[in-house]
Structures are given as structure tokens and as C-alpha cells.
Structure 1
Amino acid sequence: MKGTALDEVNSERSEIASWYAGKNVLITGATGFMGKVLVEKLLRSCPHIKGLYLIVRPKKGLTAEARKHQYFKCVIFHKILDANPDIVNKVHVIKGDLLEDDLGINIDESKHLITNIEIIFHCAANVRFDQPLRPMVEMNVVGTLKLLKLAEKMENLKSFAYVSTTYCQCNESVLEEHAYPAPQDPYEIIEMIKNLNDQSLAEITPTLLNGLPNTYAYSKALTEDLINRYEKKLPIVVVRPSIVTAAMEEPLPGWIEGVNGPTGLMIGAARGVIRSMHCNPDYASTVIPVDKAINGMIVAAYNRAHSETDCIEFSNLCGSNKGLISWGESIETGKRLFYQTPLSLALWYPDGSIKKELLSSLDLCHIFPLFTSLYYRFSFIALRTQAIFSESAE
């Protein structure tokens, strides 16, 4: 991607870095994987930025300053802190919670944000794919609505970047850069969440999903629809990264936090724990390194501020089907590398595979390990019995 607009962010002399200079930025989800990379990138490549305001949930026994000190212990910040230790003074931790009324922000800090914030990056989200509907809607939909209401009051807001996902519209064969209607009205779903109990919600969830794979994708589709209602009210850009994975170049090549997504899959396969993945091996591996996704977000916010339209803009941060390697090729490359540099604590050979047929995948995931376990269990029983007879004979 060198030579593209994404790499213009890398130079503090660039037009993009110059635009961010002197501006105050509000970030939600700053303690997450993408949020940390975003904060590091803005501090390093836009060093003349005025301030970063991070909405962080309160932690018992820790002041805002203590949270900030803890935050900057992360290894990705070491380089910029060595070069300029005072740069942390640009970062301000705001105690808040998207699940609380008025985002849990006190009146004085809320007034300060309304007066001073010019750019918003809304990265916070519940990204658990196995969550029931209620926590997903409360965090991803209602939390976003609260932030939109705060943004409406901001006097100098130039750009509001909302982080969605390319998988919010899984039913579309081609994802265009425009708005799509949600399966249901987001305001009606919000009211439903308030009035129904968990059992009732669980019973109707499959119908509500309408073909979407999980409540995460569903909540993102609802949120995009909700945001679209703010067209002409706020300068919004919806950025849709695909599957975000480890850094390609910065802040550290290969850096990732946690083992979710493809990284967790690869580690499990490398240790011999994951033996099979139910997937079409010919499908494109639509992953994007976190640094490229963050560069795209920064550029998208810049472009939205310079757009002459009042319409909401959309930016898909992903590759097309052309030129991407397939999931099958990804797995084979991973196996080759893991044989060259095996992981410690491996339980089995890294010999997993992709199975297009569900039954074949289940065989490898459950039936083969079951028979292997039974074989060794009875083998050990036989050995133990033989040892007992030997002791008796003596």
C-alpha cells in the first residue's frame, strides 16, 4: 500500500498531519486493540495535535491519572515516550461509560467536550460474537445513540468517524460504499430490548437476525441504519474494516493484543489444538493489518471534513476479491511457517485443514479426538493392569 493516501499519514509534513495539528480529538474504545493503535498513530504521526480525549470506563481504586499511567505501559508506546516523554500530557482520560445515562460523563467535562472537540473516532463496541441480543444492542446501538446526541451539541465538530464492519451486510454479495436498510427499525429494537425479558429475546433472536450470522453483525447493521438518520445533522463517515489482524509495519511488526479472530485460529492450529475449520477454502481471506485499518480511518475522517456534501460517507477498508489469497492458501502458508518455527507448548502437530463440508469438519473436531482419547485411556488401563499383575507375580 506504499505510495497511497494511507501512507501520507506517516509524515508529519503531510497535508493530513497538518490538518490534525491544533485539533482536539475524542476517542471511544481507546483501551481496545484498534483504539491503542489509533492513539499511538495520532501521537506519533500527528505530533502537533492539540489533545486526545479518551472516554474510559472507571476502574475501582484507580484515578484517571493512574489509568493513564497504566495505559501507557503498553509496549507500543515505548518508542514515542522515549522520543518525547511529555507527549502524554496531550492525552486526557475522561471517566465515562456508554452504558450509562449521558455516557456517565460529569457535567463539567461534558461542557468541555462540547466546546472543544472537533473530531470523534467511535471505536467502542461489544465485539463478542456469542453474546445474546440485549448486551449487543445496549452497547453497540444505544451507546452510539448517546454519543450522537452528545455530538449534536458540539460547537466545532468537523468529522465523526464511526467504526463498523464489512460484515454488517453479510447477505450482500458486493458491499457498496453506501447505506443499507437494517432488518428492523433500530428504534423499535431499542424499545423491544427495554420491554422484553431475556427468554423472550432469545426466542425471537433467530428471526430478527434475518440471515445474519450473529448478534454482533446484526447490531452493527442496526447502528448503521441509526446513524443514517443523522444525515445532514452531523459530518459522519462510516468506516468498515474487514477482519482486523496483527500489525504489518507499525507500531511494531506483528504486534497484536489478544488472540481473537484469525490470530487465535492460527495459534490454536499451530499448537495442534484446532484440527479443522468449517469454511470454503476457495473464499478470499479478507483480512486487513491493524495499522492499515487505522491509517484508513484517519484518512477517512480527514476526507469527511473536507467533503462538500451533507450526506453520510462510507469507506470500506478491505481488499476486493481480486488479488487476495484464499483461506486455503492462508492455512497452508501458516502450516509451513509453523513447521519452520514451531510454538512452545504444542500438543500435536500443526496439521489442521479446512473442510467445506460440515460433517467432515465435525469428524475432525470431535470424533477423531474422541477415539484418540479412548484409545489412550484404554492403553493406559492395559498398561496399569499389566503392572499390577507383574507386581503380584513378584
Structure 2
Amino acid sequence: MDPKNLADYPDRVAQIFLDRTLLITGGTGFVGKVFLEKLLRSCPGIKKIYLFIRTKKDKEPNERIKEMFNGPLFQLLKKQRGEEILKKVEAISANMEAPDLALSNFDRKKITEEVEMIYHCAATIRFDESLRKAVFLNTRGTKLMLELAKECKNLIVFAHLSTAYCHLHERVLYEKAYPPPSSPHHVIKACEWLDEEVLDTITDKILGDIPNTYAFTKALGESLVNDEMDNLPTIILRPSVIIPIWKEPLPGWTDNINGPMGLLIGAGKGVIRTMYCKGESYADYIPVDIVANCLICTTFIYLQSKLVMIMQDRFRKFLIDIFSSKRIFNLTSSAEYKVSFDEIIKIGRDVVSNKIPLNGVLWYPGGSMKKWRWHHNVEFFLFQLVPAVFLDALLIVLGYKPILMRVQKRVSKGYEVFEYYANNQWDFNNDDSMKLRQMLNPKERAIYKLDGEGINYHDYFTDCVRAARLYILKEGDETIPSARRHMRLMRFVDLVCKIVLLIGFLYLLYKYLL
């Protein structure tokens, strides 16, 4: 379709949100921020957006929302729509971890009378979270949101953001409901009744073969939503590993260095030199801006499905085929695009070594994936632990606090999570989600991009490193020239070290043979 003709098409997606009142949980989180920005920028006819926000670090909800809007993510929105658009957003004091969400009677009444669409994105994504906290946030919090949704007089959509990695026993995950690993109601009661110390001692037994509290509690939360599908207008969305923004509003932007970005930054700093993983394996990734677009478009599709009876027969049958049995969508990419760990390492190494090096690099970026654990353990000891001990000792002598061993302990902890997911392979069937794209006209597909067509991985990782450098590490672009000079020096030092090690090895071999 000629882009010049896009103006001839309507934006029916934006029209769905016209004069609507929304409630978003997790609006200050990674996905929530991008989702909120996209809604305001592309669907400016929204009447009101309420955000559940808790007091954090002595900052009240209104203070936190003001600070968020002053961040770089919202600059394009303010430029295109003006700062007046931000007045559509109102913070409501709430706590997903607390009984009854810690809502005041006044706020609860306002929500139940005004809200038409609920987007439940709040969750703890820490894999090492205590069972009690993970259950209260991811499971009981979802239960309480469903109870609130039942009180809403004008509710037309309840969208729950789950995860594609909450049914780990399924090597191929289909867009259907799966039984929970335990009764969510029983687990909630146990966490309410038992002391945290007792819970900690029996957590492994409760989890069974599930490796962490995140996957366990997200599976429980999803089952609660699925149980209410006959009673509430629910949609379940399962994104895979969510990574930084691909296209808009700020390419490469993220507010954290969890997951793949943490590994990339750690490798770029020379802190991570080895990982136990089969390089030809792959994980499933989805940029956060595509997740935001999916949240918006599945709402449109779901509401369109309610108009089935007044549409043409063929179109009606198509909608019935999608919505007759399920409203669960896997937001995944590996059915279309697969990027191996080796490819990611190769691209990432080129970016941080040659294009956008980081400041304070301890060692020239190198290392590799190891297929054998013993090989990884040897290199971890020689090239991560030993240098960390040496540099920490040097820091102590110079009067500074040691930090490298603390960093390596965090890296080691991160390895435990990474190795489980990297050395197990899952695939995802997202046929229904791909059908959704057929429901959008060319203009809508351009505004709310749902696929990875046209992605250049090298450019994408370059944007990610640049954004992480600027917004997470606070390393301005003006420091790039000096970082490149330092990188050239580290490359020379790395080469000298390799030569010295080679000579030492040859010398020992010579002495042994003699």
C-alpha cells in the first residue's frame, strides 16, 4: 500500500478509546510507562486515565507521576500533543501488595463508577523475590483487581498482562488456558496465615519443579483471570522477554538493565567474560513498544468482536473463529524471527567495542558462550573472580571501598536465572495473535506496529547501548571519544595479556616435555 494513501484510512483503534476512562496498574513500570505514553500520543481522545501508584521512598503518588512525566520518554508526547494532555492522567494512591489495594472509599467509588477499561500490568518481575511478596503482588493483587473489576458499572475490558514463561512445563505454549501449578486461593491463604520465616523454609516444596517465585505466581494470577472469563470481559496477553523500545518514542530506551540488557552492559564493561549456554540456542524477545501496541490493538479487536452480529457473514465467521473459545494471546516473535545467543554476542561485542564503547571499562569486551559447565566455571574463576579480588585489594590499598566482588556476586546470582532459561528451549504458537494483524487497515498497522518486519538487529542494539549509556549509566555522548581511546588501550592490554599467557603456557609445556 502506498504510504501516501494512508490518510485515506480511518484510525478505528483511536476511535475505540474516544471519551473512555481507563485504569492502569503498573503505570510507573517499564511496560506501563511505554503503554501510557503511546495511549496519550496516538489516542488523544481518551477522557481520563487513572494510575494506581503507591508511595515509594517518601515520594507521594503525585510527586512520582510528575517526576515520570519529566523523563525523556514523554518529551515527544509533550512536543506533539502539548503538556495539557498530561492533565488527563490522575494518580490514585493504591498498593497492590496491601489488603483491598489500600484504596480509600472515595477512590474506590470513583473507580467503580467511572472506569470502563482496566489494564492490569503491575507485578514484581524479580526472580528471587520472596514467596510471600510475589504472591501478594502477582497473585493476590490480581485477585483483588478482579474483585474491583466486578464492581465497575461500565466495564467493557479487563486486560491482564501475564508472561509467556509462566507455564514452563509446556515446551510449546499455545494460546489457550493451562491449569495452575497449585490452587491460587490456597496459596494466597497460606501466605496470609504463615510467618515469612516459615514460608521461606517451605518455598522450594511449594514451588515444586518451577524454578522461581515469578513464574509460579504469574501462573497462579493468570489462572484467576481465566476463571473469570465467563463473568468479566477479560483478555490475557502473554509477552515473552520484554526488551527496550525498537521504534518509538525513543529508540533503545529502557528504565532498567534487567535481562538481556544487563548481560550486554556487563559484557561491555568487561565484568562478564563467560556464560554457560549453547550459542546456537535462542530466546524469544519482544520490544516493549510492540507490547504496548498489542495491549491497545487487542482491546480494539475484542470490542469489535461484540459487533459480530451486525457484520457481513464472512467477517462474522472470521471473528467467531478467533473469539469463540479463547481470548488469550501470546505476544512472541520466534515464530517469525530467531536470533541465536551467538548472534547477539557477536553484534553486541561489535557495538560496545567499536561503535559506542562504555566508560570505565575494566577489560576489553570479549569472552564467549561455553557449552560445558566446567569450561565456564574455570573461566569464571580465572577471568572474573581473580581479577575482582585483585582490583578490590588495589582499591582498599588506595583507600576506596571494594566493589568488584560485590558485582561478581550479583553476576553469579544472575547466572542462575540466565542458565535455566538459556539452556532450556521453549517455542510459542501465536497464530491467533498473528490473525489480529489482518483486522487492521494499513494506517492502523503503521501507527500500531505489531510485528518485527524491517528490524535491523545491529541498529537496534546500537540504539539500546546508546540509550542505556545515556539514561541508565548517565554517560553523556560527549564522553564517547574518550571512551573510544580507553577501549583502544584496553584492546592493546588484552592483546599483551594473551601473548604473556601464551608464552607462559608454552614455557610450562617446554619444561614439562623436558
TM value normalised by structure 1: 0.88
What is the deviation of 1:271? 0.7
Q: Distance in 1 between matches of 2:250 and 2:162?
A: 24
What is the deviation of 1:141? 0.4
Q: Is the Cα contact below 8 Å between 2:271 and 2:384 reproduced in 1?
A: no
Q: Is the Cα contact below 8 Å between 2:272 and 2:384 reproduced in 1?
A: no
Q: Is the Cα contact below 8 Å between 1:133 and 1:215 reproduced in 2?
A: yes
Partner of residue 367, structure 2: 352
What is the deviation of 1:142? 0.6
What is the deviation of 1:359? 2.5
Q: Distance in 2 between matches of 1:58 and 1:373?
A: 38
SS of 1:350 mapped into structure 2: coil
Structure 1: tracts of 5 or more residues without a match: 380-394
Q: Distance in 1 between matches of 2:125 and 2:70?
A: 24
What is the deviation of 1:275? 1.2
Greater mean deviation of Cα atoms: 71-80 or 11-20: 11-20
**Structure-2 change in CA distance of 1:115 and 1:173 (3 Å):** same
Partner of residue 387, structure 1: none
What is the deviation of 1:136? 0.4
Q: Distance in 2 between matches of 1:258 and 1:90?
A: 27
Of 22, 26, 48, the residue aligned with 2:23 is 26
TM value normalised by structure 2: 0.68
Q: Distance in 2 between matches of 1:12 and 1:115?
A: 34
**1:336-347 to 2 correspondences below 5 Å:** 336-341=350-355, 342-347=357-362
Cα RMSD, aligned residues only: 2.6
What is the deviation of 1:191? 1.4
Aligned pair count reads 374
Structure 2: tracts of 5 or more residues without a match: 307-322, 395-514
Q: Distance in 2 between matches of 1:337 and 1:11?
A: 41
What is the deviation of 1:322? 5.1
Partner of residue 13, structure 2: 16
Greater mean deviation of Cα atoms: 22-31 or 51-60: 51-60
Of 76, 79, 101, the residue aligned with 1:79 is 76
Instruction: Write the letter of the residue equivalent to 1:75.
Output: P
Please list the CA deviations of residues 219-249 of structure 1 after superposition, one character each: whole Å capped at 9, or x if unmatched: 1111111222212111111111111111111
Q: Is the Cα contact below 8 Å between 1:237 and 1:313 reproduced in 2?
A: yes
Q: Distance in 2 between matches of 1:358 and 1:27?
A: 43
Partner of residue 270, structure 1: 268
**Structure-2 change in CA distance of 1:369 and 1:66 (3 Å):** closer
Greater mean deviation of Cα atoms: 37-46 or 130-139: 130-139
Partner of residue 153, structure 2: 155
Of 324, 335, 343, the residue aligned with 2:349 is 335
Q: Distance in 1 between matches of 2:49 and 2:305?
A: 23
Of 67, 91, 105, the residue aligned with 1:93 is 91
Of 351, 372, 376, the residue aligned with 1:361 is 376
Partner of residue 454, structure 2: none
Q: Is the Cα contact below 8 Å between 1:165 and 1:220 reproduced in 2?
A: yes
Partner of residue 279, structure 2: 281
SS of 2:173 mapped into structure 1: coil
Partner of residue 433, structure 2: none
**Structure-2 change in CA distance of 1:134 and 1:374 (3 Å):** closer
Q: Is the Cα contact below 8 Å between 1:235 and 1:312 reproduced in 2?
A: no
Greater mean deviation of Cα atoms: 307-316 or 359-368: 307-316
* Bigger proportion of residues as helix: 2
Partner of residue 69, structure 1: 66
Q: Distance in 2 between matches of 1:43 and 1:370?
A: 48
Of 331, 339, 342, the residue aligned with 1:317 is 331
Partner of residue 392, structure 1: none
